[in-house]
A and B are shown apart, each in its own frame.
Chain A
Amino acid sequence: MDGSHTRYAYSVPMSIRHGLLALLERGPSHGYQLRAEFDAATGATWPLNVGQVYSTLDRLERDGLVAAEGEPDAEGRIAYRLTEDGRRELHTWFASPVSSRSGRDELSIKLALAVTTPGVDVTAVVQTQRSATMTSLQEYTRLKTRADGDAGELAWSLVLDALVFRAEAEIRWLDHCEARVARAAARRRQAGTPSSAPAADTPSATGGRR
Chain B
Amino acid sequence: MSAPVLLLSDVTREHMQGGTTVRALRGVDLAVHAGELVAVMGPSGSGKSTLLHAAGGLDTPTSGQVLVEGVDLAGLSPAATAAVRRRSIGYVFQDLNLLPALSAVENVALPRELDGVRRRQVRQEAVAALAEVGVADLADRFPDEMSGGQQQRVAIARALVGPRRLLLADEPTGALDSTTGEEVLQVLRARCEAGAAGVLVTHEPRHAAWADRVVFLRDGVVVDQSGPVAGAESLLAAGGSA
A: residues with CB less than 8 A from B are 1, 3, 7, 98-101, 103-104, 123, 127-128, 130-143, 145, 163-168, 170-172, 175, 178-179
Q: Chain B nearest CB: distance from A68 CB in Å?
A: 37
Can you spell out 28 A-B residue pairs with CB atoms less than 8 angstroms apart? A7-B239, A100-B238, A101-B238, A128-B224, A130-B216, A131-B214, A131-B216, A132-B226, A134-B205, A134-B209, A134-B226, A135-B229, A137-B205, A137-B206, A137-B209, A138-B210, A138-B211, A138-B212, A138-B226, A138-B227, A139-B228, A140-B209, A141-B206, A163-B236, A164-B206, A165-B206, A168-B204, A170-B242
Residues of B contacting A133 with CB < 8 Å? 242
Q: Chain A nearest CB: distance from B241 CB in Å?
A: 5
Residues of B contacting A130 with CB < 8 Å? 216, 224, 226
Pair A139/B241 contact, Cβ less than 8 Å? no
Closest A residue, CB atoms, query B189: A145
Residues of B contacting A165 with CB < 8 Å? 206
A7 to B239, CA, bound (A): 9
Residue from A132, A142, A143, A175 in contact with B242 in the complex, judged by beta carbons closer than 8 Å: A132
Q: How many A-B residue pairs have CB under 8 A?
A: 95
- Among A3, A101, A104, A136, chain B packs the most CB atoms within 10 A around the CB of A136
Residue from B211, B223, B224, B242 in contact with A167 in the complex, judged by beta carbons closer than 8 Å: B242
Residue from A101, A128, A179 in contact with B239 in the complex, judged by beta carbons closer than 8 Å: A101
- Is B124 an interface residue, CB under 8 A from the partner? no
Closest A residue, CB atoms, query B210: A141
Residues of B contacting A101 with CB < 8 Å? 238-239
A170 to B204, CA, bound (A): 12
Residues of A contacting B189 with CB < 8 Å? 145
Residues of A contacting B147 with CB < 8 Å? none
- Among B189, B205, B214, B218, chain A packs the most CB atoms within 10 A around the CB of B205
Residues of A contacting B205 with CB < 8 Å? 134, 137, 167-168, 171-172
B: residues with CB less than 8 A from A are 43, 186, 189, 204-206, 208-212, 214, 216, 218, 223-229, 232, 235-236, 238-242
A35 to B15, CA, bound (A): 52
Q: Chain B nearest CB: distance from A177 CB in Å?
A: 12
Residues of A contacting B186 with CB < 8 Å? 145
- Among A98, A123, A131, A179, chain B packs the most CB atoms within 10 A around the CB of A131
Residues of B contacting A99 with CB < 8 Å? 238, 242
Residues of B contacting A128 with CB < 8 Å? 224
Pair A139/B210 contact, Cβ less than 8 Å? no
Pair A100/B209 contact, Cβ less than 8 Å? no
Q: Chain B nearest CB: distance from A159 CB in Å?
A: 9
A142 to B193, CA, bound (A): 13
19 additional A-B residue pairs with CB within 8 Å, beyond A1-B241, A139-B232, A165-B206: A1-B240, A7-B239, A101-B238, A103-B241, A127-B223, A130-B216, A131-B216, A134-B205, A134-B209, A136-B242, A138-B212, A138-B226, A140-B235, A141-B206, A145-B186, A163-B236, A163-B240, A163-B241, A168-B206
Residues of B contacting A143 with CB < 8 Å? 232, 236
Q: Chain A nearest CB: distance from B27 CB in Å?
A: 17
A91 to B147, CA, bound (A): 52
Residues of A contacting B242 with CB < 8 Å? 98-100, 132-133, 136, 163, 166-167, 170
Residues of A contacting B204 with CB < 8 Å? 168
A98 to B239, CA, bound (A): 12
Q: Chain A nearest CB: distance from B222 CB in Å?
A: 11
A137 to B211, CA, bound (A): 10
Pair A100/B239 contact, Cβ less than 8 Å? yes
Residue from A100, A138, A145, A170 in contact with B228 in the complex, judged by beta carbons closer than 8 Å: A138
A179 to B241, CA, bound (A): 24
